[in-house]
Amino acid sequence: MNTVENVVGPDDDTPKEACGVFGVYAPGQPVSHLTYLGLFALQHRGQEAAGMAVSDGSAITVVKETGLVSNAFDDRTLSALNGHLAIGHTRYSTTGSSVWRNAQPVYRDVGDHTLALAHNGNLVNTRSLADELGMLPGTVGSDSDVVAELLASELAKVPDESSDHRALERALVAVLPRLEGAFSIVAMDEGHIIGVRDPHGFRPMCLGKLDKGWVLASESPALDVVGAHLVRELDPGEMIVIDATGCRSLWPFDSADIEPRLCLFEFVYFARPDTRLYGQSVHQARVRMGENLAEQAPVDADLVMGVPESGIPAAEGFARRSGIPFGHGLVKNRYIGRTFIAPNQQMRALGVRMKLNPLRDNIAGQRLVVVDDSIVRGTTTRAMVSMLREAGASEVHLRVSSPPYKWPCFYGMDTGTRGELLAANMSIEEIREYLNVDSLAYLTLERLLSATGAVGAGFCDACLTGDYPVAIPEEVGKHILEITPTRVPDAPGLLLDSSQEALTFIASDDVDE
Ligand code: SF4
């Protein structure tokens, strides 16, 4: 039975990214190929589906497919997609399932108007908006379906013969203030591309300039790969419209609602290291996280190693500040696809080996400092520690470059329910015992913020503090925020088992240690 209990994913123990978006307006350029390159650079934000919509000024063509960007498009398809403007999307499903129908961009035509739209983030009022629209359960594949439907109903009010070239822009201005939650959106009609960040700017988006054109992207490396230079990050609450006349900004939200709260985990884990956020290098920020960890929680050891890939810059920082040599202790298989169905416990146990394998010569007899960026459920971390011990490590000291992850994310990261979060259910000492490490320390929130280099810029830290910048409606949060009392997992046989044993923990009174 292909239930969630026996699906083993290579990143089961980490927060899941939730989509990358891209848009390009470039007359005379092969925009479908540019979009392909841009999406390729954003592949880390979602691997379940990829898609693009291309316009030649008179019609929009959409192509989307499940799987990786390289699976979704071949040369023939790209060459057939002629036009001068395009948007694209890489999807990780946080709402809706990973079937083709939920891939993006979504497309609608209403009378003379057509639109395509792609979305990064999660709305918290999807259900009430869908109810208002009269959308039947089962017809809402993703938040983007609801936003497209809202836009379609606005466009339906525009008389066909009006030739309103700004109809989509006006529809967005009417619809966007009704959305609650996290949304970085790219949208298009036949002649414009439009980028929007929600009033908190939970998810990133930046603007780039080509010689003869403009680019919008979730992260700046997607600009580099198409030869665009970074102009700037979009401000929270900003909407940018790009067309033949150039690029202009609109502010569709009430200024009182604008309050920057970029996802802190973009710095910790989600964004590529070569991305710039709030003007800062993500890689350098991660190195500083490691330096701060070494100051905060020093330990006597022989080797500092990072958990590939995102733990490595912090491990470098830890090594630099502590003076303990940096080395590699784990090799990551870079070519893992999405998920596989593990038929039994033995196969599930082997799953972690599919992702990570120890470098025995570097580890045997060594006292290790192992630096990871976060611990969400703890299943992979526990398996990894066991692997390091089997490879001969004499001590394992775990250092985590973010504070304990205690609260589920409702803004676009798939971290499961509160009952599944290790730090919501155990004290630090219980976690240390569960993971079987000699010592354990998490970076404090204050030191994490200082490591970003953007203290005071405005961050969401809800998964660490429970302080949700956008209120979570009760019907959305009820089951996800609950902690179900269960039993302590048995020690053996838990590797990558996301069934009851591995994913449920004692409900502890000291969850806010
Ligand atoms: S809750 Fe955590 S993961 Fe979600 S947006 Fe806020 S900081 Fe990011």
Nearest Cα residue to atom 4 of ligand 1: 409
Query: Mind listing the pLDDT tens digit for each residue in 261-304?
Result: 999 999 999 999 999 999 999 999 999 999 999 999 999 999 99
pLDDT value at residue 216 = 98
Distance 41 CA to ligand 1 centre (A): 22
Does ligand 1 have an atom closer than 6 angstroms to the CB of 271? no
Residue 7 located in a structural domain: no
Asked whether residue 153 falls in the same domain as residue 292, the answer is no
More confident residue, 356 or 373: 373
Is residue 474 assigned to a domain?
yes
Task: Verify that 75 and 114 share a domain, yes or no.
Answer: yes
Please give the Cα distance from 376 to 106 (Å, whole number): 31
For residue 421 and ligand 1, the question of a CB distance below 6 A is answered with no
> Is ligand 1 within 6 A of the CB of residue 264?
yes
- Torsion (CA) 165, 237, 121, 334 in degrees, nearest 10: 100
Sign of the torsion formed by the C-alpha atoms of 113, 115, 121 and 125: positive
Distance 278 CA to ligand 1 centre (A): 16
* 267 within a domain of the structure (yes/no): no
Residue among 167, 152, 51 at smallest CA distance from 108:
152
Same-domain status, 489 and 437: yes
Instruction: State residue 478's pLDDT score.
Output: 77
pLDDT at 343: 56
Over its C-alpha atoms, the chain yields an Rg (Å, rounded) of: 23
Please tell me if the CB atom of residue 85 comes closer than 6 angstroms to any atom of ligand 1: no
| Catalytic-labelled residue, pool 19, 206, 263, 463 | 19
What CA–CA distance (Å, rounded) separates 279 from 42?
Answer: 19
Residue 330 resides in a domain = yes
Residue 2 lies in a domain: no
- pLDDT for residue 134: 86
In angstroms, rounded to a whole number, what is the distance separating the alpha carbons of residues 240 and 23? 11
Residues 208, 244, single domain; the answer is yes
Residue 160 included in any domain? yes
C-beta 267 within 6 A of ligand 1: no
| 165 against 330, higher pLDDT | 330
Question: Which ligand 1 atom is nearest residue 407's CA?
Answer: 1
- Indicate whether 11 belongs to any domain: no
Q: How far is the CA of 414 from the centre of ligand 1 (A)?
A: 10
- 205 and 302 in one domain? no
Average model confidence (pLDDT) for the chain? 86
Q: What residues are paired with 115 via a beta bridge?
A: 108
CA distance 509 to 513: 9
Residues 197 and 296 in one domain: no
Cα–Cα distance for residue pair 443/428, rounded to 1 Å: 12
Can 19 be counted among the known catalytic residues?
A: yes
The per-residue pLDDT for range 26-79, each reduced to its tens digit, is 999 999 999 999 999 999 998 889 999 999 999 999 999 988 999 899 999 999
Lowest mean pLDDT among 151-160, 324-333, 399-408: 151-160
The answer, yes or no, to whether residue 339 has pLDDT greater than 50, is: no
The pLDDT > 90 percentage for the chain reads: 69
Q: Is residue 204 part of a domain?
A: yes
Best residue for ligand 1 mutational test, from 264, 269, 415, 452 (most atoms within 8 Å of Cβ)? 264
Q: In the chain, what percentage of residues exceed pLDDT 70?
A: 85
- Spatial CB neighbours of 256, under 8 Å, sequence gap ≥ 6: none
Domain that holds residue 308: 282-503
CATH of the domain at 59: 3.60.20.10
**How many domains are there within the chain?**
2
Considering only CA atoms, which of 216, 218, 236 is closest in space to residue 228? 216
Yes or no: say if 220 and 276 are a contact pair by the CB < 8 Å rule. Answer: yes
